[in-house]
Amino acid sequence: MNFQLSQPDTLLSAAIQHKIDRKTKPVGALGRLEALALQIALVQQTPAPELHQPHIVVFAGDHGAARAGVSAYPQDVTWQMVENFLAGGAAINVFSRQMGLGLSVVDAGVNHEFGKRPGLIDAKIGPGTASYIDRPAMTPAQRDAALERGRGIAHALAGNGCNCIGFGEMGIGNTASASLITHCLVGADHDAELYNVTGRGTGLDDAGLFRKRSLLAQALERGGRPSDPLAVLAEYGGFEIAMMAGAMLGAAEKRMLLLIDGFIVTSALLVAYAIDPRILAYCVFAHRSQEPGHRVQLDFLQVEPLMELDLRLGEGTGAALAFPLVQAAVNFLNEMASFESAGVSDQS
């Protein structure tokens, strides 16, 4: 697989920054919204960017390791929550409706047969991964198929006129998979020891957290700590995480804006980033999750998220909640008067 990303040209930077600085406000007074406006303008290579058909995609998959007890909830919650998404009753449905965002759910590998359903994209790789405690989570062929299908999903959205994609996920046990991926791909100088990047997920108690950490240590003993992102995916990934990584790279190929949600979505981004670091130019980090490893990931990438709301849900909820800020950045750039057009006196 050969993803074709390019770094946005920065030739327009000075002109866009000048446009921002001439708006009727003290220079810099819109704070980080100004940096966001500049980023989006550069992604779209225009001083007048627009967000078209913004869309949340929730990738769902099951994890073999869930049966060993790495989550506070049973594996069946994955497919039951997919049903909930399709019925419109989950948190991401509520927020997507509120923000006017499109929403699609992808069956990347849920242990359930849904049949053909409106709003559901069938991209199933298999009925869940193998348990990485005993063997690699997926075969190289499954991993490559997941990456390629993810890319196809992003390209199809771009083909329908979408230029802003928010990533979400659903998969009981996927914080454990994200912890292993983070441990492998984040340098030791960021203190990504397994212990530091393994948290309570959906709400494990102390005994549950201890058990999760021991199971993940066991997995590492078996599979080692590869640094190659493709090896990490096959060893410890989930189908939804691999498919998200492919979709992220595919979205960046199409110069879309990527809204990055919490800990699991960022673990997929770590994979994509290791494949091509230029992806970072297209990413907006929505929030800092309560899952402790998320801070480690964001520090490693040297990025600052827009919000900190103590969320620990996933589904793309943080991405949806950040969307109005992203829209505000675009709107001030396009709609605010300048000192010249409004006849307001500049500083003396």
Ligand X SMILES: O=C(O)c1cccnc1
**Residues forming the site for ligand X (CB under 6 A):** 175, 201-202, 261-264, 289, 291, 294, 312-314
Nearer to ligand X, 44 or 75 (CB): 75
DSSP state of 187: -
Instruction: Identify which of residues 107 and 169 has a Cβ nearer to ligand RBZ in the complex.
Output: 169
- Of residues 192-231, which lie at the interface with ligand RBZ (CB under 6 A)? 201-202
**Closest approach of Cβ 72 to ligand X, in Å?**
10
If the CB atoms of residues 17 and 202 are measured against ligand X, the closer one turns out to be 202
Write down the residue that tokens 């298999």 correspond to: 126
Structure-token pair, residue 292? 């402790």
User: Closer to ligand X at the Cβ: 303 or 313?
Assistant: 313
Nearer to ligand RBZ, 44 or 174 (CB): 174
Task: Catalytic residue, from 169, 240, 291, 315: name it.
Answer: 315
Contact letters for ligand RBZ, residues 233-272 (x by CB under 6 A): ----------------------------------------
**How large is the C-alpha radius of gyration of the chain?**
20
C-alpha closest to that of 146 among 1, 317, 319, 314: 1
Nearest to 6 by CA among 266, 279, 235: 279
Nearest one of 98, 81, 3, 44 to 329, comparing CA atoms: 44
Q: Taking CB within 5 to 8 Å according to partner kind, which of ligand RBZ, ligand X, none is near residue 262? A: ligand X
240 is catalytic: no
Q: Are 127 and 109 in contact (CB under 8 A)?
A: yes
Contact flag: residue 150 with ligand RBZ (CB under 6 A): no
What's the 3-state SS for 19-66? HHHCECCCCCCCCHHHHHHHHHHHHHCCCCCCCCCCEEEEEEECCHHH
Q: Choosing among ligand X, ligand RBZ, none, which partner's interface includes residue 171 (Cβ < 5 to 8 Å by kind)?
A: ligand RBZ
Size of residue set near ligand RBZ by CB under 6 A = 18
Out of ligand X, ligand RBZ, none, which partner does residue 291 contact, by CB within 5 to 8 A per kind? ligand X
> Closest distance between ligand X and the C-beta of residue 289, in Å?
3
DSSP annotation of 283 reads E
* 8 Å CB contact between 85 and 171: no
Strand partners, 107: 60, 122
Q: Does 109 bind ligand RBZ (CB under 6 A)?
A: no
- Collect all residues with Cβ–Cβ distance below 8 Å to 54 and sequence separation of at least 6: 99, 100, 101, 102, 162, 164, 165, 166, 323
Binding characters for ligand RBZ, 56-75, by CB under 6 A (x = yes): ---------------xxx--
What is the binding site for ligand RBZ (CB under 6 A)?
Answer: 71-73, 77, 81, 169-176, 201-202, 313-315
Residues known to be catalytic:
315
